[in-house]
Amino acid sequence: MARQSLQPSPEPADYPFTHRLRTRFAETDAMGIIHHAAYLPYLEEARVEYLRAIGHPYDSVRAGDAATGGDGDGGRDFAVLEVSVQYRRPLHFDEEVDVALLIGAVTGTTFQIAYLLSVGGTPRATAVTVHGCVDGRGRPTRLPAWVRDLGST
């Protein structure tokens, strides 16, 4: 995967934001653990909570609300261009998972997010997603200024 450049740290303290969620029984599989595909919605839920926390709720981004980052010219989606997950130890039903995340590698058109999933301080998985910005018709477009600014933090 050529574009992906972030290396997720296994240390919770290295991440500026953490979202806690609880695994669902519907997400278990016949191995008695959380199915590996269920982790992607966990990452997404944490992204959505992060955007809310920094004042840019994702539904406003999608609606093109100028006040929250549409640059005044319509809605935006942060399409997922790449994802990778490294499963270290299984997650089980009813566990409370801390999904920590960090934005990095911001360019004019893409950004990356590194994730650490842990339970009670013990790492369970790390992940990276790479995102591009698309307009309401699904065409690639420049990132809103507030996203580009996250890169200089």
What mask, x for binding a copy of itself by CB under 8 A, covers residues 118 to 147?
Answer: ----------------x---x---------
Please report whether residue 10 would count as binding a copy of itself according to CB under 8 A: no
Q: Exactly one of 9, 12, 18, 40 binds a copy of itself (CB under 8 A); which one? A: 40
Q: How far is the CB of 72 from a copy of itself (least distance, A)?
A: 21
Annotate the chain with DSSP letters as a single string: --S------S-GGG-SEEEEEE--GGGB-TTSSB-GGGHHHHHHHHHHHHHHHTT--HHHHHHT-GGGTSTTS--EEEEEEEEEEEE-S---TT-EEEEEEEEE---SSEEEEEEEEEETTEEEEEEEEEEEEEETTS-EEPPPHHHHHHTT-
**CB closer to a copy of itself, 12 vs 75:** 75
Please report whether residue 107 would count as binding a copy of itself according to CB under 8 A: no
Residues that bind a copy of itself (CB under 8 A): 1, 4, 22, 24-33, 35-38, 40-41, 44-45, 48, 57-59, 62, 77, 79-87, 90, 92-94, 134, 138
